[in-house]
Amino acid sequence: MENRRTTTNLQTIVLFALLTVLLLTGCDSGSQIRQSVSRAVSVNCDAAEILSEYDSHGGFHGDGTSFYALQYSDHTARDEIAQSGQWKPLPLTDNLSAAVYGDDSHAPLIIKDNDWNHPLVPPISHGYYCFIDRHSESDDPKSDAALFSRASFNFTLAIYDEDADVLYFSRVDS
């Protein structure tokens, strides 16, 4: 009888420990996403709620797309973004619009599971964007002029929807 009670107690402790680890891991993931986005585009994301997340990076070369939609509740991001020298007011440039939504010559790049018919970023009328060209051949990380002239893509693009108070963040590596 004592062995059975000890075994049950041990199982309870192990189950509790596993649940605690899972809970902490889940919390840590959201915190890491917010910190990563904050560092990349110089906007405080601590108070933002993560609406969606997608990351296909992996494999030998680390190619893939990371995408996060972060919802703010008080437009604090708007003021920070508007005062930043890193962000520009919409509309997107032709190259960035093609990267996000596609055009006659290019399929969209910010997509999930190769679904070119459904870009991850919805159409946005009012807001700001931040582009960083991380390609090794880039002469100017703020310029998207050479975006489609290379065989691969390595860039970060964040778009802030002022009306919805949502920041869409993407990192594309190929």
Q: Give the chain's domain count.
A: 1
pLDDT confidence of residue 22: 38
- pLDDT for 143-169, tens place per residue? 999 999 998 899 999 999 999 999 999
pLDDT confidence of residue 6: 55
Q: Please state the pTM of the whole predicted model.
A: 0.80
What rounded mean pLDDT belongs to the chain? 85
- Distance between CA 149 and CA 145 in Å, rounded? 8
The backbone region for 62, taken as left when phi is positive above 0, alpha when psi lies in -120 to 50, beta otherwise, is: left
- The more confidently predicted of residues 130 and 62 is 130
For the chain, the farthest-separated pair of C-alpha atoms sits apart, in whole angstroms, at 75
- pLDDT for 2-19, tens place per residue? 555 555 554 545 444 443
Q: What average pLDDT does this structure show over 83-99?
A: 95
Q: Would you tell me how many other CB atoms lie within 10 Å of the CB of residue 41?
A: 22
Q: What average pLDDT does this structure show over 22-33?
A: 61
Phi, psi of 132 (to 5 degrees): -135, 115
| The two three-digit tokens of residue 54, written as one number | 């997608």
**Across 111-120, 137-146, 151-160, least confident range:** 111-120
In the chain, pLDDT over 70 holds for what percent of residues? 82
Is it the case that residue 113 has pLDDT exceeding 50? yes
Name the residue range of residue 55's domain: 2-173
- The more confidently predicted of residues 115 and 165 is 165
